[in-house]
Amino acid sequence: MGPDCLYDLYTSWRLLHSITAVGDITFRSARQDRGIDLGSSRRRMTGPAVADYILASYPATA
């Protein structure tokens, strides 16, 4: 999962919980400050926020 997908998932999760999300730059800075390296992690997306993210990210096909 790349940084753009992680941020989009974060915003979906916040939206589902009616919590205001921080901006992209603030989010990325906080991730770096905590030493979270997306290139070497095995993070997976699960849960309701993922469904929201997938539905919002991909256009419907006709």
Report, as an integer, the average pLDDT of 32-56.
77
* CA 51 distance to own-chain centroid: 12
Contacts 24+ apart (CB under 8 A), 30-37: 31/3, 31/6
What pLDDT does residue 62 have? 52
The answer to whether residue 45 scores a pLDDT higher than 90 is no
pLDDT higher at 52 or 34? 34
pLDDT digits (tens, 9 = 90+) for 3-30: 777 888 888 888 888 999 999 999 889 8
Cα angle value 52/15/39 (rounded, 5°): 65
- Per the prediction, the chain carries an average pLDDT of 80
Threshold 0.85, pTM exceeds: no
CB under 8 Å to 12, separation ≥6 — which residues? 49, 50, 52, 53, 56
